[in-house]
Structure 1
Amino acid sequence: MSDATRAEVCAVACADAYRDDGEIIASAFGTVPAIGVRLARHTFSPDLVLSDGEATAMRGTWALGGPPDGEVEAWLPFNQIFTLVWHGKRHITMIPTQLDAYGNANISAIGDHAKPTVQLLGVRGAPGNSVYHPTSYWVPAHSTRVFVPAVDMVSGVGNDNARAAGPSAQKHHDLRYVITDLAVFDYEEGSGRLRLKSVHPGVSVDDVVAATGFDLVLPDAVPETRLPTADELDLIRTVIDPRGLRDLEVRG
């Protein structure tokens, strides 16, 4: 019987999102996704490229919140990032403020665009990220405030809008997974709608449905998200996140 916390289950789910990605830049926003990419690179996806947060790629596995501790693997100046992005050589995990059934994400503003009630980050790199290379999303607090019928502004491009924009937007458009503190989702082939892939231990399908503001694609059987192995738990607790920062992002 595993004693894994909800945050540790989420970290492993984030790691699994990068399984079999090969040699690609792994950009993960949020504490739990950052743990996930370190875990993936240390175990089943050793070719992932991780930045020190500045201009170098690093070998090794270092603690979250601490300075990079390892060997410099490559020089990654800012202007080269765009070349890699435009050729699909990155898989990013972003944190949406709103997300709809087709994976349209809003990180820009809440309310009417001409006069928003809340100003957020702006679209930043979300349009290019979602059109040019694999994109996943992390939601640390799953609720109907995040999972909405329609986003107030499209920052990250969803499957329906990519389809409507035509071949140039669809060619490299690749929405992968949505991981939340309740469940893991992917997208139904054909419709492009968000589909429930697994529920975390202690969470029911009904819990997820109640916390989502639109109809999900629900398979006949929904498995539980896998638990961390003993080795993965040890890596998370003693090497990657010994300070327990994961439990500040996901409680319970």
Structure 2
Amino acid sequence: MSVTRAEYCVIACAEAWRGAGEVLASPMGVIPSLGARLARLTFAPDLLLTDGEALLVRPDGTPEGWLPYRQHLELVAGGRRHVMMGASQIDRYGNQNISAVGDWARPRRQLLGVRGASLNTLNNPTSYWVPRHSPRVFVERVDMVCGVGYDRAAALGAVSRFHRLVRVVTDLCVFDFGTPDHSMRLASLHPGVSVEQVREATGFAPAVPDEVPRTREPGAVELRLIREVLDPAGAREREVPEGARG
């Protein structure tokens, strides 16, 4: 059975919550949301999902509990949330920018603003989803720091004791930060993607092991859940169109 690039991305996002236990998943984007729901249905049954407002929900969206704002903040402050955010820019240490591109006094692009990125990264495990891997996103130095990377977290001392960046998933590959200085490392390649393609699409030199594994293929049950239960309308293929890469 043929597996699309988008479906590999769903699996790669789902794996971010493997072994997470009873934590609140906060995925941002179609494919991260599918990944979190798939993880809950398969290998992460204790994962908490939310409707983004005041309810805990099952993977099909039906309510299973109440999550008032105060309790939500308690989960955040207590490190019991794993958020998967987007990034307009991200550097080798995981510093993320979603606020502005260009000089702060006169930016070329005004974006979302800092929002909760800094507290997300200091209080909770954080991952990132980048649907279009390019040197414009993966930069040597972000124009503004919104989400805190490992180099800046180290300089903050005890304030950053809960800081942990888990992975960065893109339409080409998966990165982690498993190097001595916590700089970005190529953890897996999606099928059809080469190391050279990743290097060309990245504005800095990531660490590359001698042997880079392939992103794991979804099993038959996982594919059925993705295609028939979680996303029968195929929204995943619009976020990562097949044939757009590789």
Please give the range of the TM-score, normalised by the shorter of the 2 chains.
over 0.9
Letter in 2 for 1:36: G
Which secondary structure state, in structure 1, belongs to the residue aligned with residue 82 of structure 2?
Answer: strand
Residue 186 of structure 1 is matched in structure 2 by: 176
Residue 134 of structure 2 is matched in structure 1 by: 143
Q: What value does the CA root-mean-square deviation take over the aligned residues?
A: 0.9
Among 235, 240, 247, the alignment partner of 2:230 is 240
1:115 offset after TM fit, Å? 1.3
Letter in 1 for 2:35: G
Quote the Cα distance in structure 1 between the aligned partners of 2:106 and 2:121: 26
Task: Kindly indicate whether the alpha-carbon contact (under 8 Å) linking 1:188 and 1:217 is maintained by their aligned counterparts in 2.
Answer: no
Quote the Cα distance in structure 2 between the aligned partners of 1:132 and 1:115: 31
TM-score normalised by the chain length of structure 2: 0.96
Residue 215 of structure 1 is matched in structure 2 by: 205
Among 65, 85, 94, the alignment partner of 1:94 is 85
Quote the Cα distance in structure 1 between the aligned partners of 2:154 and 2:36: 30
| 1:99-123 C-alpha deviation (Å, 9 max, x unpaired) | 0000000000001111111100100
Query: Which ranges in structure 2 are unaligned for 5 or more consecutive residues?
Result: none
| 1:150-169 C-alpha deviation (Å, 9 max, x unpaired) | 00000000000000111212
Letter in 2 for 1:124: R
Task: Kindly indicate whether the alpha-carbon contact (under 8 Å) linking 2:21 and 2:46 is maintained by their aligned counterparts in 1.
Answer: yes
Does residue 6 (structure 1) correspond to residue 5 (structure 2)? The answer is yes
Which secondary structure state, in structure 1, belongs to the residue aligned with residue 10 of structure 2?
Answer: helix
Task: Kindly indicate whether the alpha-carbon contact (under 8 Å) linking 1:197 and 1:222 is maintained by their aligned counterparts in 2.
Answer: yes
Task: Kindly indicate whether the alpha-carbon contact (under 8 Å) linking 1:91 and 1:135 is maintained by their aligned counterparts in 2.
Answer: yes
1:12 offset after TM fit, Å? 0.5
Task: Kindly indicate whether the alpha-carbon contact (under 8 Å) linking 1:176 and 1:187 is maintained by their aligned counterparts in 2.
Answer: yes
Quote the Cα distance in structure 2 between the aligned partners of 1:139 and 1:52: 22
Letter in 1 for 2:164: D
Quote the Cα distance in structure 1 between the aligned partners of 2:127 and 2:20: 13
Quote the Cα distance in structure 2 between the aligned partners of 1:116 and 1:175: 27
Residue 155 of structure 1 is matched in structure 2 by: 146
Map 1:27-176 → 2, pairs under 5 A? 27-59=26-58, 61-62=59-60, 68=61, 70=62, 72-169=63-160, 171-176=161-166
Residue 65 of structure 1 is matched in structure 2 by: none
1:74 offset after TM fit, Å? 2.2
Quote the Cα distance in structure 2 between the aligned partners of 1:45 and 1:223: 23
Which secondary structure state, in structure 2, belongs to the residue aligned with residue 17 of structure 1?
Answer: helix
Task: Kindly indicate whether the alpha-carbon contact (under 8 Å) linking 2:179 and 2:185 is maintained by their aligned counterparts in 1.
Answer: no
Which secondary structure state, in structure 1, belongs to the residue aligned with residue 199 of structure 2?
Answer: helix
Which secondary structure state, in structure 2, belongs to the residue aligned with residue 12 of structure 1?
Answer: helix
TM-score normalised by the chain length of structure 1: 0.94
Which secondary structure state, in structure 1, belongs to the residue aligned with residue 216 of structure 2?
Answer: coil
Which secondary structure state, in structure 1, belongs to the residue aligned with residue 17 of structure 2?
Answer: coil
Which is further off, 89-98 or 112-121?
Answer: 112-121
1:188 offset after TM fit, Å? 2.5
Task: Kindly indicate whether the alpha-carbon contact (under 8 Å) linking 1:18 and 1:45 is maintained by their aligned counterparts in 2.
Answer: yes
Residue 15 of structure 2 is matched in structure 1 by: 16
| 1:76-109 C-alpha deviation (Å, 9 max, x unpaired) | 1122221110100000000000000000000000
Task: Kindly indicate whether the alpha-carbon contact (under 8 Å) linking 1:24 and 1:48 is maintained by their aligned counterparts in 2.
Answer: yes
Which secondary structure state, in structure 2, belongs to the residue aligned with residue 196 of structure 1?
Answer: strand
Letter in 1 for 2:153: A
Query: Which ranges in structure 1 are unaligned for 5 or more consecutive residues?
Result: 63-67
Which secondary structure state, in structure 1, belongs to the residue aligned with residue 142 of structure 2?
Answer: coil
Quote the Cα distance in structure 2 between the aligned partners of 1:128 and 1:82: 11
